[in-house]
């Protein structure tokens, strides 16, 4: 379906009927997929579709007014009937807020605030080849000073015949935790899947970062794809998998080109193929473009999508390590985790521990957006404070004082400015009342209405709920209705007291993390900033 959508621009009734016949499945099942995923459309598209992000970082940058200015400007032209402007959830370009894409091609680092240039690009026939990639500073986690040295880690371990035991020993000793948000110990996960007897096994790289404020994996894939590939090869040889999949969000076409080139180079070098890295074991990696939706970042929803189903989370247990893709043991890690695994296996756990600041251990890629001079991705020692990170980004934009920040993306709790010296670390952020999550720091100055921003985030979770479980589906919708009515002045703010009990219900009864955190932003905002609540 994704290929048909790409070829035709939409999915007609005839196309869906043909697919149902081709794969021998009922038409209703194909219709169910087409209606579930956000990237599929059922009507012919206009000549140009302009998508504008509406989520928290872009809302802070004025996406609503910028969108209206764009519409006003386009209405003056003769081709306005051939242009469609639509609001969408996060497109992964929070460092260029308000983010905009034209026919699914992001124009970052331009933002919608560069209105004249964006309008010019709408009429540009070679838009697809328009290269505007941001610069990236070489990462300290990359152990290879030259291209010719890449993949030497797996080659050496294969030659020594110790891939699995060495990888698990070094990863467990380093205490590397999954960098996708959950923070599960990486070495332990690899060991669990290695011990499973069922075959075949799979290695899946979760590259579907879709949470507002999160875009670090995008930069790793574009600039350090070899570390991700080698991490997947090391994992495959450790657990005994012959098939790997990179599950990539569909908005990352630019990054896909970089990843595809790196995969071709790895195959040419013998790292992938029937005799992966000379191991005698077959292993190759394919790239699967996500059909869209924040929920697919949840590992079991991702697996459902890979099985051509609606991307709805599974009840757990069983966990993917025992019952994953097609019911077989599956190792799922995110982009950053695989990249760091390569570095740790190469350099050792003592090197990893030495990278942290003070008593903290390791490195972290962080995405910084919002009210800083230079938003972007930085590789920092864990233990770096939020204040130090802001200075690394050039300080506060327009010298406007800090009001609040989200340390771990839209799903994390708001923290006030007096917590700015909190170290960026899993445990330190938990003690401060929030979480490190994916390491997506959204910096907010005193010019913003925090109640409005928190409501924006709850709307995001409402919009992205898959609808499988009643608490999340209904609870997020009722929460948004209440928040909007309080904003409009038609409901007393005293009614917001119900959100605390509702938040507890969602946390305890929702199937996955989306529902469990959906109300955290508004509840934490009300806790730390009660004066921001409309009276």
Domains of the chain, earliest start first: 2-36 (no CATH), 48-125 (3.40.30.10), 151-351 (3.40.50.11540), 360-445 (3.10.20.600), 450-532 (1.20.1440.230)
List the single range of 122-136, 227-241, 422-436 with lowest mean pLDDT.
Answer: 122-136
pLDDT at 236 over 90: yes
State yes or no: pLDDT of 180 exceeds 90.
Answer: no
The whole-angstrom distance between residue 336's C-alpha and the CA centroid of its chain comes to 11
Determine the average pLDDT of the residues in 230-251: 97
Over residues 324-337, the pLDDT tens digits come to 999 999 999 999 99
CA distance 429 to 8: 47
* Average pLDDT rounded to a whole number, residues 396-422: 96
Per residue in 115-163, pLDDT tens?
999 998 887 745 544 445 455 666 789 999 999 999 999 999 999 998 9
**Per-residue pLDDT tens over the stretch 278-301:** 999 999 999 999 998 999 999 999
Predicted pLDDT at 129: 46
Q: Give the per-residue pLDDT at 82.
A: 87
In order of 9, 27, 28, 67, the CA distances from 19 in angstroms are: 16, 8, 11, 37
Whole-prediction pTM value?
0.94
Q: For residue 81, what pLDDT band results from cuts at 50, 70 and 90?
A: confident
Instruction: Supply φ then ψ for residue 365, to 5 degrees.
Output: -85, 130
Q: Calculate mean pLDDT across residues 456-477.
A: 95
- Cis omega (within 30 of 0) on the bond before 506? no
Query: Which among 157, 148, 83 has a CA at the least distance from the CA of 122?
Result: 83
% of the chain surpassing 70 pLDDT: 97
What distance in Å separates the CA atoms of residue 425 and residue 49, rounded to the nearest whole number? 40
* Euclidean distance between CA atoms 243 and 227, whole angstroms: 18
H helices of 281-322, in order, are: 299-306
Q: pLDDT at position 8, please?
A: 86
Residue 78, pLDDT score: 63
Which of 101-115, 203-217, 498-512 has the lowest average pLDDT?
101-115
CA atoms 71, 76, 81, 83: torsion sign = negative
Kindly state the helix (H) or strand (E) to which residue 455 belongs, with its residue range: helix 450-464
Mean pLDDT across the chain: 93
Burial 195-222 (b: 16+ CB within 10 A, else e): ebeeeebbbbbbbbbbbbbbbbbbbbbb
- pLDDT (0 to 100) of residue 80: 65
pLDDT band at 272 (very low <50, low <70, confident <90, very high): very high
CA-CA-CA-CA torsion sign (290, 296, 297, 300) = negative
How many other CB atoms sit within 10 Å of the CB of residue 27? 13
> Burial, 264: exposed, middle or buried (Cβ in 10 Å; 0-12, 13-18, 19+)?
exposed
**Residue of higher predicted confidence among 212 and 77:** 212
pLDDT tens digits for range 336-389: 999 999 999 999 999 999 999 999 999 999 999 999 999 999 999 999 999 999
CA distances from 140 to 177, 351, 362, 381, 501 (A): 18, 11, 11, 10, 45
Which of these ranges, 45-54, 130-139, 492-501, has the smallest mean pLDDT? 130-139
Q: What is the mean pLDDT of residues 398-413?
A: 95
Measured between alpha carbons, how far apart are the two ends of the chain, in Å?
Answer: 49
């Amino acid at each position: 379906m994704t290929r048909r959508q790409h070829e035709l621009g939409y999915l007609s009734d005839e196309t869906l009927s043909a697919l149902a016949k081709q794969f021998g499945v009922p038409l209703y099942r194909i219709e169910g997929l087409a209606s579930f995923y956000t990237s599929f459309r059922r009507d012919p598209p206009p000549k140009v579709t302009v998508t504008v992000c509406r989520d928290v970082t872009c809302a802070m940058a004025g996406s609503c007014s910028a969108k209206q200015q764009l519409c006003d400007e386009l209405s003056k032209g003769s081709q306005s009937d051939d242009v469609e402007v639509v609001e969408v959830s996060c497109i992964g370009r929070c460092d260029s807020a308000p983010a905009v894409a034209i026919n699914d091609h992001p124009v970052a680092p331009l933002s919608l605030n560069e209105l004249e240039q964006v309008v010019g690009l709408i009429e540009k026939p070679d838009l697809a080849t328009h290269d505007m990639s941001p610069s990236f500073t070489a990462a300290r986690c990359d152990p290879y000073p030259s291209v010719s040295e890449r993949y030497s880690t797996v080659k050496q371990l294969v030659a020594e015949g110790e891939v699995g035991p060495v990888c698990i020993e070094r990863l467990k000793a380093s205490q590397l935790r999954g960098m996708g948000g959950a923070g599960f110990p990486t070495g332990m996960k690899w060991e669990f899947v290695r011990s499973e007897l069922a075959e075949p096994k799979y290695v899946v790289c979760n590259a579907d970062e879709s949470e507002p404020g999160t875009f670090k994996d995008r930069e790793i894939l574009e600039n350090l794809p070899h570390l991700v590939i080698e991490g997947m090869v090391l994992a495959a040889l450790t657990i005994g998998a012959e098939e790997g999949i990179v599950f990539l969000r569909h908005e990352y076409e630019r990054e896909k080109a970089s990843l595809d080139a790196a995969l071709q180079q790895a195959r040419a070098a013998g790292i992938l193929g029937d005799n992966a890295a000379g191991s005698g074991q077959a292993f190759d990696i394919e790239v699967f473009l996500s059909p869209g939706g924040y929920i697919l970042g949840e590992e079991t929803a991702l697996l459902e999508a890979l099985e051509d189903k609606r991307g709805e989370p599974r009840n757990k247990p069983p966990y993917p390590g025992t019952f994953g893709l097609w019911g077989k043991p599956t190792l799922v890690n995110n982009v950053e985790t695989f990249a760091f695994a390569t570095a740790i296996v190469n350099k050792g756990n003592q090197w990893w521990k030495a990278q942290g600041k003070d008593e903290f251990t390791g490195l972290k890629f962080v995405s910084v957006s919002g009210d800083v001079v230079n938003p972007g991705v930085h590789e920092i020692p864990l233990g770096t404070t939020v204040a130090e990170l802001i200075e690394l980004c050039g300080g506060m934009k327009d010298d406007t004082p800090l009001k609040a920040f989200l340390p771990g993306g839209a799903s994390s709790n708001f923290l006030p400015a007096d917590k700015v010296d909190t170290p960026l670390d899993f445990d330190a952020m938990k003690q401060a009342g929030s979480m490190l999550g994916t390491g997506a720091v959204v910096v907010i100055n005193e010019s913003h209405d925090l109640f409005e921003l928190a409501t924006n985030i709850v709307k995001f979770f409402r919009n992205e709920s898959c609808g499988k479980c009643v608490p999340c589906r209904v609870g997020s919708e009722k929460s948004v209705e209440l928040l909007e009515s309080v904003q409009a002045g038609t409901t007393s703010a005293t009614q917001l007291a119900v959100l605390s009990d509702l938040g507890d219900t969602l946390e305890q009864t929702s199937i996955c993390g989306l529902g469990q955190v959906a109300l955290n932003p508004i509840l934490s905002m009300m806790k730390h900033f009660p004066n921001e609540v409309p009276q």
